[in-house]
Amino acid sequence: MLEKISQLIEEISNLNAKSLEGVEALRIKYLSKKGHISLLFNDFRNVPNEQKKVIGQKLNELKNLASEKINSLKETLAVADDTETDIDLTRSAATSHLGTRHPLSLVRQEIIDIFARLGFTVAEGPEIEDDWHVFSSLNFADDHPARDMQDTFFIQRSPDILLRTHTSSVQSRVMEVTKPPIRIICPGRVYRNEAISYRAHCFFHQIEALYVDENVSFADLKQTLLYFAQEMFGPETKIRLRPSYFPFTEPSAEMDISCNLCGGKGCNFCKHTGWVEILGCGMVDPNVLESCGIDSSKYTGFALGMGVERITNLKYRVKDLRMFSENDVRFLDEFKSVH
Ligand code: DAH
């Protein structure tokens, strides 16, 4: 029996297999119930007592050697199996879902680009503002209704600290610290205490433009507005100015563009007038220049302000303002092809 055991030890030490199936066949041959080693264990019963110790040890040695050998063959083949069959270098890469730019970001960037071509640079200011920059410096009377709790979100129960209601606040911040010529465009988020509906939200986005220098005239404003409207909505676009009122401009106007849906013929969108309103503008009131430390006998300026949601609605017909802040990917995905 000892001889048989030694022979098997020799045989098993030299075992090799090319596949996992091959290893399994070897396991069956040596270690299964009817395998060579199990049969030897069965015969062990007949070994004379005085030899049991020596043969028993040898048998255990054989069994351990066989299981170790088979396990190690299995492991080597499993690793090889992984590297050889699981990686297919010819497969195309898995596609990952690419995000899209938010429509408001797209339109804001487009507006900034148009004004950049006229030499305007971006200026930003804080969303949490003080009364001076949002109202007083801009010539709002102390009892102006815009300061009313209905419109403005006040912070810390202080009537002085508030969420800005328009980006015109950036005008006064820049004028306070900059010597003309000033040519800035101020994009940003603004807040108003409005009930949320399809046409109003408690926050939205505005872009303000300001140009202050010697001899800036209303004609400069008109030409800038026409350039902007035609770059944004196409070369056929017409503009018209209607007199209006803002505390910080004199004279003030509101600008309409010819309806970009019906081309000015009249449709439901423009309520059959052929025109749609897009922004407010005017010549900077001399009081505002003086409040910000700019000599109004030497310098003049124009300003304009528009709502980014409004422009986006005109460009992409988004009827419900709430879509902009709900982050519904089906809505956002619609802007994938833009830019
Ligand atoms: N700040 C105004 C608003 O929130 C918009 C505006 C109107 C800005 C006329 C201007 C302007 O600069 O000249 O409704």
Residue 249, ligand 1, Cβ within 6 A = yes
Q: Stretch 28-50: mean pLDDT, rounded? A: 87
For residue 238, report the distance from its CA to the centre of ligand 1, in Å: 21
pLDDT of amino acid 106: 94
Q: Stretch 81-99: mean pLDDT, rounded? A: 75
Q: Stretch 245-267: mean pLDDT, rounded? A: 94
Q: How far apart are CA 161 and CA 173, in angstroms?
A: 15
Q: Which of 1-5, 16-20, 82-86, 260-264 has the lowest mean pLDDT?
A: 82-86
User: Which residues contact residue 322 at a Cβ distance below 8 angstroms, ignoring those fewer than 6 apart?
Assistant: 196, 197, 198, 201
Q: pLDDT confidence of 322, banded at 50, 70, 90?
A: very high
C-alpha distance from residue 213 to each of 134, 173, 243, 298, 304 (Å): 22, 17, 23, 8, 15
Q: How far apart are CA 119 and CA 209, in angstroms?
A: 11
* Nearest alpha carbon to residue 232 among 289, 316, 320: 316
- pTM more than 0.95: no
Kindly report, residue by residue over 262-294, the tens digit of the pLDDT: 888 999 889 999 999 999 999 999 999 999 999
For residue 248, report the distance from its CA to the centre of ligand 1, in Å: 8
Kindly report, residue by residue over 104-144, the tens digit of the pLDDT: 999 999 999 999 999 999 999 999 999 999 999 999 988 88
The pLDDT mean for the chain works out to: 90
Angle formed by the axes of helices 20-31 and 49-85, nearest 10°: 170
pLDDT of amino acid 150: 62
**Which of 120, 166, 171 has most ligand 1 atoms within 8 Å of CB, for mutation?**
166
Q: Which atom of ligand 1 is the closest one to the Cα of 302?
A: 13
Spell 233-262 as b/e; 16+ CB within 10 A means b: beeebbbebeeeebbbbeebbbbbbbbbee
Q: Stretch 216-228: mean pLDDT, rounded? A: 98
pLDDT of amino acid 84: 59
Q: How far apart are CA 169 and CA 160, in angstroms?
A: 14
What tokens does 230 get? 């035609």
**Which of 246, 289, 292 has most ligand 1 atoms within 8 Å of CB, for mutation?**
246
**Which of 304, 308, 311 has most ligand 1 atoms within 8 Å of CB, for mutation?**
304
Q: How far apart are CA 165 and CA 259, in angstroms?
A: 28
Find the angle CA(203)-CA(205)-CA(206) to the nearest 5 degrees.
Answer: 130
